[in-house]
Amino acid sequence: MKQRLAFVILLVWVAAALFEPLLPISPNEIHLSAILAAPSADFWLGNDALGRSVAGRLIAGARIAFVVAFSTVFVSALAGTVIGAVSGYVGGALDHLVSRVIDIMLAFPGILLAIALAAILGPGIENLIIAISSVGWVGFARLARSQAMTLRTREHITAAIALGSGQGRIVFRHLLPLMMAPLLVEASFGLAAVIVAEAGLSFLGLGVQPPQASWGSMIREGAGFLLVAPHLAIFPGIAIMLVVLSANLLGDWMRDRLDVHQYL
């Protein structure tokens, strides 16, 4: 029940983000007569300090949030899984090096590294994706590495080696398919984490730049009008909460459903 609701919420947001250009509300159209307007029949969620529709900006913000979240999770999952799986399977000096790098990355608070990277790379969506992926791959790498280390002694791997398969073939055809379930669970939690990270960086002014709408920058702009127009800060926060909560619930559900044991 909870999971179904979570799924529906996510689906509605993704659909709204996908079809944003077709919707009748624009994120950048300025209504000078209705600056800071409270929610009403004309403007469902009210208007911001420039008279732009909060509802329109929320949907445009969803578009950014999902673009960043899906690309970041894709890039970090791909990079992390390949690095982790190869390192765990091959072992030896390579694995030594990779696990050292993973240790060092984990010794670095993730959000701090993302802030530093975003600050150095400069604002913009691509840089956001690079900054968050540079932190995000580590979780996938650690997971894939430990999976590869337990899976490589399985009989079908021995059989593949006996048949003369190359190492690349073994990793990609015989190891990776078996890791899909835990990686999928990690990815759905990752989605929630990236959405918070994108909003956080944009809140700090290091992410999406105006006039583009991001949930994080909407909260920052709204924080200046808390007393006169609290709706500016309230609605984007509710949007983040709904999406993050849904992604986490979905992750929980998948973990139980796919029978992935608590891995650490």
Partner 1 sequence: MTSRLLSALITLFGVVTLVFFLIHLIPGDPVEYILGDSARPADRNALRQQLGLDQPLLLQYSSYLTNLLSLDLGKSLHSNQSVTALLAERFPATLELALAAFIIAVLIAVPLGVMAARRRGTAWDSGAMTISLLGVSIPNFWLGPMLILLFSLWLGWTPVSGREQPGSLILPAITLGASLSAVLARMVRSTLLEVLNEDYIRTARAKGLKESSVIWRHALMNTMLPVVTLLGLQLGALLAGAVITETVFSWPGIGSLLIESIQKRDYPLVQGCVLLVAVSYLLINTATDLLYQLLDPRIRSR
Chain residues that interact with partner 1, rule: CB under 8 A: 100-101, 103-104, 107-113, 115-117, 119-121, 192, 196, 199-200, 203-206, 216, 219-220, 222-223, 226-227, 230, 233-234, 236-237, 240-241, 244-245, 248-249
Of the two residues 210 and 230, which places its CB atom closer to partner 1 in the complex?
A: 230
Q: Which residues of 156-179 are buried (b: 16+ CB within 10 A; e: fewer)?
A: ebeebeeeeeeeeebbeebbbeeb
Phi, psi of 47, deg, nearest 5: -125, 160
Q: How far is the CB of 138 from partner 1 (least distance, A)?
A: 12
- The distance of closest approach from Cβ of residue 158 to partner 1 in the complex, given in angstroms and rounded to an integer, is 30
Nearer to partner 1, 54 or 249 (CB): 249
CA pair distance 44, 27, nearest whole angstrom: 13
Cβ-based neighbour number of residue 42 at 10 Å: 11
Least distance from C-beta 74 to partner 1, angstroms?
23
Q: CB 107 → partner 1: shortest distance, Å?
A: 5
Residue 181 C-beta: closest distance to partner 1, Å: 22
Handedness of CA 256, 257, 262, 264 (dihedral sign): negative
Nearest CB to partner 1, comparing residues 89 and 235: 235
Q: Hey, what are 93's tokens?
A: 């000096």
Angle at 100 between CA 94 and CA 103, to 5 degrees: 140
Tokens standing for 197? 């990270």
Considering the complex, state which of residue 32 and residue 107 has its C-beta at the smaller distance from partner 1. 107
CB 212, min distance to partner 1, A: 18
Query: In this complex, which beta carbon is closest to partner 1, that of residue 109 or of residue 211?
Result: 109
Of the chain, the end-to-end C-alpha distance in Å amounts to: 28
User: Which residue, 26 or 248, has its beta carbon nearer to partner 1?
Assistant: 248
Q: Which of 219, 255, 239, 251 is nearest to 66 (CA)?
A: 239
